Amino acid sequence: MPITLTSGLVAAETRGPIGWLIWDNPTKLNALSPGMSEDALSVIESYAADPAIKVVIMRGAGTRAFISGGDIKSFDKTRANADIARASRAIPAKLRQTMLDLEKPLIAMIHGYCLGGGMGMALNADLRFASSDSQFSVPAALRGIAYAPSGLQQLVDLVGPSRAKDIMFSARRLRADEALRIGLINHIHEPEDLEAATLEYAETLARNAPLAIRAAKFFINQLGLPEEQRNHTRITAMIDQAEKSADFREATTSFMEKRKPVFHGR
């Protein structure tokens, strides 16, 4: 699927089985500006459709920020009134859902500032790798913004209700060590080591069985739903598909032959 980018503020790059989504607005510390969500959606949809891409990493350009928040200077246009604000949320909402539905692992690699909408974007990832100098905050209480329940649910799922209230009420900035302690991020690395460590981890995932990873991601997400809302038919079908797959047979054969398995996702 071709990637169409028009904003000049988002980039895409592939390195073997790894697809990169790059928030490329460095003069504004990669703040989310008009057109970026549309471009990011094109990138994610392309990676979702490409069987050669096994893992997706998103990052900000440079090392000063992942995403520093929304571009406040654009708010006069995107939030001029309730109707315009509602319309301007449509594409970001679609991007969020597309990221959550992506059947491949999505990793957020976070340098520096991860604030507001940037933290919301990072929560769309399955895993968050951060530099030791990174900072996290949702300053909605300083901007007069009622943060959407969908985003808050992701935060609550990670850190729990009380810590989520602390983050939202105070609008304070959390440093990387606290973010790791409360479960907001998964790993911390020194800034100069972050990309190599994230890439090494992503390459490990890319070598594992795609059907097993896809099932694990879907099942874990389903566990967050009430029992009656879970897609039991698809869960059963995915279990059956994995059990009948060539990858399952390859795993057994490679074990017996004392070699590393080579998986193909079928």
Are the C-beta atoms of residues 101 and 49 closer than 8 Å to each other?
A: no
- 64 and 193 belong to one structural domain: yes
3-class SS at 49? helix
Does residue 90 share a domain with residue 40?
yes
In this structure, the answer to whether residues 170 and 123 fall within a common structural domain is yes
**Full domain range(s) for residue 129:** 10-206
Question: Six-digit token pair at 167?
Answer: 């983050």
pLDDT above 60 for 50: yes
| Amino acid at residue number 19 | G
- 72 part of a folded domain: yes
Residue 265 domain-assigned (yes or no): no
Residue 102 located in a structural domain: yes
**Per-residue confidence (pLDDT) for residue 45, from 0 to 100:** 97
Q: Is residue 126 part of a domain?
A: yes
Residue 221 lies in a domain: yes
Output Rg (C-alpha) for the chain, integer angstroms: 19
Nearest to 103 by CA among 219, 214, 266, 241: 214
The answer to whether position 179 is within a domain reads: yes
- pLDDT band, residue 35 (cuts 50/70/90): very high
142 CB neighbour count, 10 Å cutoff: 11
Structurally, the chain folds into a number of domains equal to 2
Decide if 56 contacts 47 (C-beta within 8 A). Answer: yes
Task: Tell me how far apart the alpha carbons of residues 13 and 24 are, in angstroms, rounded to a whole number.
Answer: 12
**Res. 78: pLDDT tops 60:** no
- Surface-to-core class of residue 50, CB atoms within 10 Å of its CB (0-12 exposed, 13-18 middle, 19+ buried): middle
On whether residue 262 sits in a domain, the answer given is no
Task: Kindly tell me if the per-residue pLDDT of 46 is higher than 70.
Answer: yes
b (16+ CB within 10 A) / e for 219-229:
eeeeeeeeeee
What distance lies between CA 23 and its chain's CA centroid?
12
Closest CA to 119 of 179, 189, 38: 179
Q: Is the pLDDT of residue 106 over 80?
A: yes
Judge whether 264 lies within some domain. no
Residue 183 — very low, low, confident or very high, per pLDDT cuts 50/70/90? very high
pLDDT, averaged across the chain:
93
The residue-averaged pLDDT of 168-197 equals 98
Mark whether 91 and 171 lie in a shared domain.
Answer: yes
